[in-house]
Structure 1
Amino acid sequence: MDCSSRREAGPTPRGSARRPRWRQARPAHDAIVVGAGVSGLTAAAELHAAGAKVAVVEARDRVGGRTFSRDGWVDLGATWFWDGEAATRDLLAELGIGTFAQAIDGDALFAQAGGVMRLEGNPIVGPAHRFRGGAQALAHALARRLPPEAVRTGTAVRSIAFSSDGEAHVETTDETIAGAAVAVAVPPAVAAASLAFAPALDPSLMHALAGARTWMGDAVKAVARFEQPFWRAAGLAGTAISHVGPFREIHDHSGADAGEFALFGFAASEQFAGLAPERIAERFGQQLTELFGADAAAPTAIEAVDWRRDPFTAPERWADHAGTHYHGLPVLWEPHLDGRLVFCATETAQAYAGHLEGAILAGHRAAAQLLTTLGR
């Protein structure tokens, strides 16, 4: 039933200067998902498959959230999954997305103030797996399972209000969308800082949302592409740990196909406060030359992303109590407001919080919770 249309047909309340904004809402949806990352799209695809009418609202101009791939192999966000992460394996098989092994063969490097040491046999990193098409391929494949009109990108949510008659009203920068229930799939700390809720959420929930520090929310990732994997010719794995910095951790980031050769590095965002991505990329290139020698001095391209400066990943300021110890707390994964509101970013997962595995598990759980609320 289109409850918003039914109410619009009634008389305007006495003393009202104009109709409330929610009365101009689109026809009601069964569920509204805020955030089109892997967790939100997992939930949306399962809700749609169960017959629910779903709207997905995403502030970025793309789907994928913290998966962000270039040219089908360069991952500037999430990159890996590991053995034992069954939900990821199952979803990849279901979506028809291939995988390949992370390159780890060869020796590693360890840099400290006294110089660079070579470590035999790469004791730094173990086996992991990559995604053909890049990690963002998961999000694109999930989005294709939804009607084209269901996903709205470039649309930031401002507020989420629940009326006593069972409707939810999600106000965005462009419109107000009405539905029966809402899944919030943005990072909890971002939800606490940027979304207004009515009625006000329980203080214990708000405390946990604000306290759940975003995975990758303090990180810079840089990727340098090369014509040839010169490190392999030298018997190196491309892996390095540096106590000199600014990049503390470096790995082979080559793709599965010919001509796809790269190294990537992680650094703490605080190392580059206020520095433009181009300058961060330059510093990464310099560090690679310091570690690997002259062969690293001629990358074909370097790209860097400071996830701390992305307002859809991290709030402007972390709460004083923020930390990863809030990840997976019951208050974050339990349903609220009579089951009409659930949270499902990876930080809410009961297992593998922060991983893509956690995002997928949280999406499964949120879909099941909302289907129960919807009586399906």
Structure 2
Amino acid sequence: MPDADTMAAPVPLPVSRVFDVAIVGAGLCGLALARQLIARGLEVQVVEARERLGGRVFTAHCQATGQALDLGPTWFWLETEPRIAALLTELGLASGPQHDPGDALWLTDPNREPERRVEPGGVHVGAHRIQGGAARLVEALAATLPDGCVRTGLAVQALRDRGTFIELLPSTGQPVRARQVVLALPPRLVHEKIQFDPPLPPAVWETLAATPTWMAAQAKAVSTFAQPFWRSAGHSGNAFVRHAQAVLGEVFDVSEGEGEAGALGGFVALNAAQREHFKRGLPLLIDSQLTQLFGPEAQDGHLFWLDWAQEPWTCSATDRAKPPEPPQTDPLLRQPLWAGRVFLGGSETAAHGAGHMEGTLESADRIAHAVCRPNANVCSTPVPAALHQAGVADGTRAHAFGTFSASVLALRGRAPERYRLHLTRLLSSQQTELLTQRALLATADLVYSETLARLDQLLPALDAANAEIVNGRHALTSALLVLFEGWNKGLLDAALSFNGTSCALSNFPQEHRPDGETLRAITLDLAAAWREFALELNTRLLVEASSAAII
């Protein structure tokens, strides 16, 4: 941990503006969160180290073909990622399905022709893409913010607790002051680039360093063409290259529109050090790989690529030095710090959708409900009364409870199918470890996430302010949670029943019939997810009661 003593000694501060909330990072999480907080009447300042917005979202544009090309996040799934689907609808942004029809190519020997394989259900299993590129979502969110809300080119290097406010110290320029701070950054960047006075708890500090940044050390390449010629040959555009000389390890069709122009995207198989070594020759190597897969027409493309390992505000030194790892999420990173005045955001902290755009929005939603909670005691701007009155006309508490109960029953009923969707996605992405455990946990997190979103809509009608609170527990908590009684076991039983009949899992004996140790690990994971959900539900009821009392 950086030594707080190395920072400049405190100096008397002139009277200046203190924001309600300062958000460090203008990626999807930071922008979506700012939008929510400003709608509640809070004064928000977003600071971004880059000169552009979007974080890991970056869309290039090919003048030759007129296509938008996502060199960062590309896909989302309507069936399992409700927040981004709802936000796109709210902002009036269109999306379309990822092109998957046709065979997939597999190249396992550099001296042989690729093998054509049919992938049932497609490789991307119902993925969608934002029309015009993911940057359109960034632009739409930024357009909802007032002038001056976002400052770019301001790299925060330290946070200092000044008592009544927190001081954000940039590398150059004047400090920013706020009552609460959100670090909407990859955890490893927080660990690497920001000093804290006083220091963070050691367990949190170690967890920040241990949490991989999803796709941070990857590079993505896209080649555009006048036509998607591979489709007429019966190819989907999907290809997997699995030999030691691979340049692109995975390829996919990212054409925009209805086939007027074509584009093939892929993840570079070389690690960060190898990419640096072959930097000058990499375009030729990519052309050669595409030509080997799809024929001579693939050598005439316009190449666009971005090496995220060279982006210092995405990729930490630790990420560059280690092999890529799947997204991990630790509940410790979702806990408020500095007595409820500092929060960690970003996709890697999400309980649902970690590593995806959905995760950034889930994280923003969690923090939006966490700022100005009673234990923080720093919110100077009351929540507008109109927001509390919204939904009251829907009926009495009994009616609202009935609506909530129906929602929970529907979510419980859909859970087994969503488990199968998560499992299929893991298999289609060639993942082979802990399939049942990961698919079950993703399903539980999704159900809890949607339940909390439904609770938010019904909170005013539930009349949480007029219910007893005993020892920090809201009187409605037990009544709402009882709807999930027995659900963990039922979900696990349904998953095991499906596994036992799944041909796709027949080559994975440990998944087909998990042993006792695996089942215990799954049970513990589900129990931990349940505890976190139960605490969050109770907290949201308490916040509603406190906010209503203020008004």
Question: 1:139/1:326 Cα in 2 relative to 1: closer, same or farther (>3 Å)?
Answer: closer
Question: 1:321/1:118 Cα in 2 relative to 1: closer, same or farther (>3 Å)?
Answer: closer
Instruction: From the CA coordinates, give the structure whose radius of gyration is larger.
Output: 2
> 2 CA distance for matches of 1:237 and 1:325?
25
CA shift at 1:328, angstroms?
2.3
Which residue is 2:282 aligned to? 280
Question: 1:162/1:365 Cα in 2 relative to 1: closer, same or farther (>3 Å)?
Answer: same
> 1 CA distance for matches of 2:344 and 2:292?
44
For the Cα contact (< 8 Å) 1:26–1:177, is it kept in 2?
A: no
- The one-letter code of the counterpart of 2:236 is A
Which residue among 103, 117, 120 is the counterpart of 2:118?
120
Which residue is 1:44 aligned to? 34
Which residue is 1:5 aligned to? none
CA shift at 1:133, angstroms?
2.1
CA shift at 1:22, angstroms?
7.5
Q: Deviations over 1:314-358 (max 9, x none)?
A: 112349999858832111011111110001110000111001111
> 2 CA distance for matches of 1:275 and 1:131?
34
What TM-score comes out, normalization by structure 2 length? Answer: 0.61
> 2 CA distance for matches of 1:233 and 1:249?
21
Tell me, what secondary structure is at the counterpart of 1:186? coil
> 1 CA distance for matches of 2:221 and 2:213?
19
Which residue is 2:265 aligned to? 264
Q: Deviations over 1:223-247 (max 9, x none)?
A: 0011111101111110000013121
Tell me, what secondary structure is at the counterpart of 1:149? coil
For the Cα contact (< 8 Å) 1:278–1:303, is it kept in 2?
A: no
For the Cα contact (< 8 Å) 2:26–2:46, is it kept in 1?
A: yes
- The one-letter code of the counterpart of 2:26 is A
- The one-letter code of the counterpart of 1:316 is A
- The one-letter code of the counterpart of 1:52 is L
Note if 1:77 corresponds to 2:88. no
Which residue is 2:398 aligned to? none
Tell me, what secondary structure is at the counterpart of 2:371? helix
CA shift at 1:171, angstroms?
1.1
Note if 1:28 corresponds to 2:28. no
Q: Deviations over 1:280-331 (max 9, x none)?
A: 33322221011111010111x1111111221111112349999858832111
For the Cα contact (< 8 Å) 2:254–2:262, is it kept in 1?
A: yes
> 2 CA distance for matches of 1:338 and 1:22?
24
Structure 1 segments of 4+ aligned residues over 6 angstroms from their partners: 319-323
Q: How does 1:219-368 map to 2 (within 5 A)?
A: 219-244=218-243, 245-256=246-257, 259-270=260-271, 272-275=274-277, 279-299=281-301, 301-318=302-319, 327-368=328-369
For the Cα contact (< 8 Å) 1:253–1:264, is it kept in 2?
A: yes
> 1 CA distance for matches of 2:37 and 2:305?
35
Q: Deviations over 1:122-171 (max 9, x none)?
A: 653322100012112112111111112010112211111112x2201111
CA shift at 1:60, angstroms?
1.2
> 2 CA distance for matches of 1:286 and 1:260?
21
Q: How does 1:161-240 map to 2 (within 5 A)?
A: 161-163=160-162, 165-172=163-170, 173-240=172-239
What TM-score comes out, normalization by structure 1 length? Answer: 0.89
Structure number with the bigger relative contact order (C-alpha 8 A, sep ≥ 6) is: 1
Tell me, what secondary structure is at the counterpart of 1:282? helix
70-79 vs 56-65, greater mean Cα deviation: 70-79
Tell me, what secondary structure is at the counterpart of 2:51? coil
Tell me, what secondary structure is at the counterpart of 1:317? helix
Q: From the two aligned structures, give the one with the greater helix fraction.
A: 2
Question: 1:60/1:257 Cα in 2 relative to 1: closer, same or farther (>3 Å)?
Answer: farther
Q: How does 1:48-63 map to 2 (within 5 A)?
A: 48-63=38-53
307-316 vs 103-112, greater mean Cα deviation: 307-316
25-34 vs 113-122, greater mean Cα deviation: 113-122
Note if 1:87 corresponds to 2:83. yes
47-56 vs 267-276, greater mean Cα deviation: 267-276
> 2 CA distance for matches of 1:115 and 1:326?
34
Question: 1:288/1:323 Cα in 2 relative to 1: closer, same or farther (>3 Å)?
Answer: closer
CA shift at 1:47, angstroms?
0.8
For the Cα contact (< 8 Å) 1:47–1:371, is it kept in 2?
A: no
Q: Deviations over 1:232-286 (max 9, x none)?
A: 1111110000013121100001113664420000124516342476643332222
For the Cα contact (< 8 Å) 1:88–1:356, is it kept in 2?
A: yes
Unaligned runs of 5+ in 1: 1-17
- Give the percent of matched residue pairs that are identical in Structure 1 and Structure 2: 34
Q: Deviations over 1:105-127 (max 9, x none)?
A: 11110001143111135653322
Tell me, what secondary structure is at the counterpart of 2:266? strand
- The one-letter code of the counterpart of 1:361 is E
Question: 1:50/1:349 Cα in 2 relative to 1: closer, same or farther (>3 Å)?
Answer: same
Note if 1:96 corresponds to 2:92. yes
> 1 CA distance for matches of 2:188 and 2:169?
19
Tell me, what secondary structure is at the counterpart of 1:87? helix
> 2 CA distance for matches of 1:240 and 1:48?
44
Question: 1:322/1:294 Cα in 2 relative to 1: closer, same or farther (>3 Å)?
Answer: closer
For the Cα contact (< 8 Å) 2:215–2:324, is it kept in 1?
A: no
Q: From the two aligned structures, give the one with the greater strand fraction.
A: 1
Count of aligned pairs = 357
> 2 CA distance for matches of 1:364 and 1:187?
17
